[in-house]
């Protein structure tokens, strides 16, 4: 992520992942990015694609990370829905 956004608002990032360990890995990685770059990141993590579908209708995210192995609808189907 570059820090050339037109506004000073934080980046909003959504992680859809059913593994708590993988969510923790994302958290640690993004905290490191924040410390090294000064970029503010708001991370939201959801454990299933049904929750994510609802949240995506309510909020626009700067980045979305999807687990492709989620229970139906899986991450690939959710990605198709997001793109349409």
Q: In which domain, by residue range, is 45 found?
A: 11-83
pLDDT surpasses 70 at 6: no
In a domain, 2, yes or no: no
In a domain, 1, yes or no: no
For the whole model, what pTM was predicted?
A: 0.83
Eight-state DSSP code of residue 68: T
pLDDT in tens, 15-64: 999 999 999 999 999 999 999 999 999 999 999 999 999 999 999 999 99
CATH number of the domain within which 48 lies: 3.40.50.2300
Closest CA to 40 of 6, 7, 61, 10: 10
In a domain, 17, yes or no: yes
Q: Which residue pairs, CB below 8 angstroms and at least 24 apart, start in 73-78?
A: 73/49, 74/49, 75/16, 75/49, 77/49, 78/16, 78/49, 78/52, 78/53
In a domain, 6, yes or no: no
User: What's the structural domain count of the chain?
Assistant: 1
Write down how long the chain is: 84
């Amino acid at each position: 992520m570059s820090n050339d956004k037109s506004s000073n608002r934080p980046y909003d990032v959504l992680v859809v992942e059913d593994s708590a360990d993988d969510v923790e890995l994302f958290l640690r990685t993004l905290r490191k990015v924040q410390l090294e770059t000064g970029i503010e990141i708001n991370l939201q993590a959801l454990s299933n694609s049904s929750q994510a579908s609802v949240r995506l209708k309510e909020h626009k995210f700067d980045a979305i990370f999807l687990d492709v192995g989620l229970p139906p609808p899986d991450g690939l189907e959710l990605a198709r829905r997001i793109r349409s």
